Structure 1
Amino acid sequence: MSTMQAIVISEFGGPEVLKYRTVAKPLPEQHQALIRVKAFGLNHAELHMRRGEWDEWNPISGLECVGIIEACPSGEFSVGSKVAGVMGGIGRDRPGGYGEFVNVPVSNIVSLETRLPWEQLAALPEVYCTAWSCLFTVLNLQQDETLLIRGATSTIGQAALNLAVNVGAKVTATTRQEARFDLLREMGAEDVKFEQQDLGRQFETIGSPP
């Protein structure tokens, strides 16, 4: 039996319960791909899994990873391809990305062409999936529609801004720091406003008669 190294939840608790272990190396089935993990992101959900606060969890956590295709029995991805894999049960009802290798359904894998280092690339898959789901699954955002993104300089805010601008939406973005106004405009926001508790007051004059 082939083995690999993984970071395993040995019991529920704080970060100290994460232990290095030698475990069985997974074997991919049809419509799965085995990824050699180069880096993985850390997500707040994994904190709750580690503490035993979610119904779904796996001893090998990790909802996302980036790496190289090691094997793909059904041929959807070529061996050696650079990819990102996200969720599809990984880290919840199947072992996740906190190991040297992970099996991911091919429907949850994306090929990548980038020169970003692995450790930076690993921070992107889950945040973009979350932003995409909010914009297009929940809101069904369309071209020329108007969108307000609050806290747009956060990681998920920037991902949402990129995706919204890409689809042709008209975005107003907010931030607490005036120094970041130009950044958000450069990213494609048509308007930028200060983030504050009474944000609606900044819009009170819109549509008012002169």
Structure 2
Amino acid sequence: MKAIVIEKFGGPESLVIKDVPKPEPKVGEVVIKIKAFGINHAEMHMRKGEWAEWVPISGIECVGVVEACPGGEFDKGTPVAALMGGLGRTISGSYAEYTRVRAGNVVPLGLAVSSRLGWDQLAAIPESYATAWTCLFRNLGLQNGQKLLIRGATSAFGQAALNLAVEKGAHVVATTRRQERFALLKSQGAEGVEIEGPDLSERVQEKEKKKFDAVLDLIGNTTILDSLKIVHRDGRVCLAGFLGGLAPIHEFDPLVQMASGVHFSFFGSFVFGTPEFPLSDVPMQSIVEMVADKKFEANPSRVFKFEEIREAHRVMEAGEANGKMVVVV
């Protein structure tokens, strides 16, 4: 089969298409014929040698059909999504024509629903929406009518969170680095839009006159201390992205920098498929159905061919994605 391989750490030119052996079926695992896969920032960091775990064939998610499943968990030909479970980190990932992943990291998409969407549309859903759903409704416990701030809302993850939160009935304020993206966020249901910056807590509280119920911070360590100032007592803050870079917080003194009674949590999607975080916990078929029913737009911002992977990475690294980019195999 053909696969996209990280030949060496570096820029997009480090990604090379090669012929490699097709994965063999194993009990407890599923071989998937990949139809399309999403592009993620984690894969950029793996390509550059900035991630703790990586394998030559990158890619943390995909959609396709079951090619083989010796354990009988799925019938051959079943349309499925797969994400995490070591994909692209400890086992060969989705930048290929076939992949093999643990059955617990595979979810059926539902033939009746998925047939109404193209593979490129389906590929825009798994990682972004599974992670956004978990952050919003598990970590943040978001309820109808609550006030939510999403920092980094024009990212694929941020737009997924915005769509799900608005559908739930939350009042969302979203941030972006560029004013020209205000219209996009408002068209998706954001009631307010702010320019992202280190003094955001002061600006939003002056404008909104009251604190938020929840903050989903996708910028990361550069903004999380500011985010903790934005929620009221019993409010929740979830850190789940690192758009601002991977550098750690050098000093964090809760006594001085964190308000009493505020709840702070982290979520990393690499835990999907573990006993505490089964992928079955995420209502993936319901999310796909919402997309098929056009309850919100979840189309990819750009679609690339397999041989255009270098250009896809160039666009991602330049910050020009404007949403979820996918590759059709």
Higher relative contact order (CA 8 A, sep 6+): 2
Query: Relative to 1, partners in 2 of residues 1:72 and 1:9: Cα closer, same or farther, differing over 3 Å?
Result: same
Local SS of the residue matching 2:20: strand
Alpha-carbon separation, structure 2, partners of 1:25 and 1:69: 14
What is the aligned counterpart of 2:83 among 62, 82, 86?
Answer: 86
Query: Relative to 1, partners in 2 of residues 1:200 and 1:67: Cα closer, same or farther, differing over 3 Å?
Result: same
- CA drift of 1:178 comes to 5.4
Alpha-carbon separation, structure 1, partners of 2:174 and 2:141: 21
Scaled by the length of structure 2, the TM-score of the pair is 0.54
Aligned counterparts, 1:44-83, within 5 A = 44-83=41-80
- CA drift of 1:145 comes to 4.2
Residue in 1 aligned with 2:174? Answer: 174
Query: Relative to 1, partners in 2 of residues 1:24 and 1:178: Cα closer, same or farther, differing over 3 Å?
Result: closer
What is the aligned counterpart of 1:37 among 31, 34, 37?
Answer: 34
Say whether residues 1:99 and 2:96 are aligned partners. Answer: yes
Deviation per CA, 1:161-195, whole angstroms, max 9, x where unpaired? 333345x452323365554466233xxx6xx0131
Alpha-carbon separation, structure 2, partners of 1:118 and 1:56: 28
Residue in 2 aligned with 1:184? Answer: 188
Deviation per CA, 1:14-38, whole angstroms, max 9, x where unpaired? 1112112221211232221110011
Local SS of the residue matching 1:199: helix
RMSD (Å) for aligned C-alpha atoms: 2.4
Contact 1:141 1:169 in 2 (8 A): no
* Percent of aligned positions that are identical: 52
Farther off after superposition, 86-95 or 103-112: 103-112
What is the count of residue pairs matched by the alignment? 197
Contact 1:150 1:195 in 2 (8 A): no
Local SS of the residue matching 1:83: strand
Residue in 1 aligned with 2:123? Answer: 122
Query: Relative to 1, partners in 2 of residues 1:23 and 1:153: Cα closer, same or farther, differing over 3 Å?
Result: closer
Residue in 2 aligned with 1:201? Answer: 206
Contact 1:173 1:184 in 2 (8 A): no
Alpha-carbon separation, structure 2, partners of 1:199 and 1:146: 12
Contact 1:82 1:111 in 2 (8 A): yes
Larger Rg computed on CA atoms: 1
Alpha-carbon separation, structure 1, partners of 2:204 and 2:21: 53
Contact 1:131 1:159 in 2 (8 A): yes
Contact 2:186 2:193 in 1 (8 A): no
